[in-house]
């Protein structure tokens, strides 16, 4: 491993204290001198094809943003190091860096492929294609009326319902918004897609899990009110005039570097199911 990149969220390390520490440890433990540093917000259109490993320093949002913006010629795995709040997607916590780098040197790790989605929508008479790792959400505006959704799976009508929104999620995203809306956990290595309604006003729509290479077409009608398309909870696009959104599997998978003692179920227990300290009420 000769070329390592570090994509860091600068808002979480204003004085580069963490970045400098990580860089020094990589040089010392891994004996790697060619380390390139990138702002995680400026990763789009950069040629990173020469990298053997990309380390992402931040939280889940940082990793999601980087995953969306990577060029298709990027082939290296990503090692997510959590310096944020939750870190469900991260490979390790920053406190475990020394041990992780030593494991990396003896190859006590493996690459896990994570399915991504491609969302196609017509905006202002132009077609936009957006890549996403977690989910695609189509939802009403804050003060808008309920949206009427027609959902087609592989050109066959599945359901028509009214509600606040709809989530099309990857297995990676099944622990995020989809979970909050009542969707199932999906084991992350699977190539399947879940479709979950948000506050459905009719009983004609139930969550469903479909095969990963299916095409989902969503027709959203809201009588001229606002409808928003959001990917990964980060990028929002306002749509009007009964938009048609097509979601399908992206041909490129994201490669995550995980260590051999990684336990998905422990992560779910500790960071999703039992992550209640911020909700239980703390003394002021």
Enumerate the domain spans of the chain.
3-114+253-272, 117-249
| pLDDT attached to residue 170 | 98
- Would you say 269 is a known binding-site residue? no
Among residues 13, 42, 47, 60, which one is catalytic?
A: 60
- Would you say 276 is a known binding-site residue? no
Mean pLDDT (the chain, rounded): 92
| pLDDT attached to residue 276 | 53
Residues of the chain scoring pLDDT < 70: 124-125, 275-284
- Measure the CA–CA gap between 167 and 136, rounded to whole angstroms: 6
| pLDDT attached to residue 202 | 83
| pLDDT attached to residue 229 | 95
| pLDDT attached to residue 124 | 65
- Would you say 135 is a known binding-site residue? yes
- Would you say 178 is a known binding-site residue? yes
3-114+253-272 CATH choice from 3.40.50.10330, 3.30.830.10, 3.40.50.1950, 3.30.1490.100: 3.40.50.10330
Q: 60 an active-site residue?
A: yes
Among 146, 170, 167, 137, which residue's Cα sits nearest to residue 67? Answer: 170
| pLDDT attached to residue 142 | 76
Among 8, 12, 6, 175, which residue's Cα sits nearest to residue 84? Answer: 12
- Would you say 228 is a known binding-site residue? no
- Would you say 266 is a known binding-site residue? no
| pLDDT attached to residue 128 | 85
- Measure the CA–CA gap between 25 and 31, rounded to whole angstroms: 9
| pLDDT attached to residue 242 | 82
| pLDDT attached to residue 284 | 37
**Identical fold at 3-114+253-272 and 117-249?**
no
Q: Which fold has domain 117-249?
A: Tumour Suppressor Smad4 (2.60.200)
- Would you say 134 is a known binding-site residue? yes
């Amino acid at each position: 491993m000769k070329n390592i990149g570090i994509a860091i969220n600068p808002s979480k390390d204003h004085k580069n204290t963490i970045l400098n520490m990580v860089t020094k440890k990589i040089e010392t433990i891994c004996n790697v001198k060619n380390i390139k540093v990138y702002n995680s917000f400026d990763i789009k259109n950069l040629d990173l094809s020469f990298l053997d490993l990309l380390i992402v320093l931040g939280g889940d949002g940082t990793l999601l943003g980087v995953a969306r913006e990577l060029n298709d010629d990027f082939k290296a795995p990503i090692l997510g190091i959590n310096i944020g709040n939750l870190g469900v997607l991260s490979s390790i916590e920053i406190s475990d860096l020394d041990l992780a780098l030593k494991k990396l040197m003896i190859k006590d790790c493996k690459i896990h492929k994570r399915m991504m989605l491609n969302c196609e929508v017509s905006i202002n008479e132009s077609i936009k294609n957006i890549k996403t790792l977690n989910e695609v959400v189509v939802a009403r505006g804050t003060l808008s009326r309920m949206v009427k959704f027609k959902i087609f799976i592989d050109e066959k009508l599945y359901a028509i319902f009214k509600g606040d929104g709809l989530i099309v999620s990857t297995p990676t995203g099944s622990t995020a918004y989809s979970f909050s809306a009542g969707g199932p956990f999906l084991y992350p290595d699977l190539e399947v897609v879940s479709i979950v309604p948000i506050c459905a006003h009719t009983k004609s729509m139930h969550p469903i899990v479909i095969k990963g290479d299916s095409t989902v077409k969503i027709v959203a009608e809201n009588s001229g009110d606002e409808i928003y398309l959001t990917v990964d909870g980060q990028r929002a696009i306002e749509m009007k005039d009964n938009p048609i959104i097509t979601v399908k599997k992206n041909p490129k998978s994201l490669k995550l570097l995980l260590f051999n003692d990684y336990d998905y179920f422990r992560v779910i227990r500790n960071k999703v199911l039992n992550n209640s300290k911020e909700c239980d009420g703390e003394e002021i």
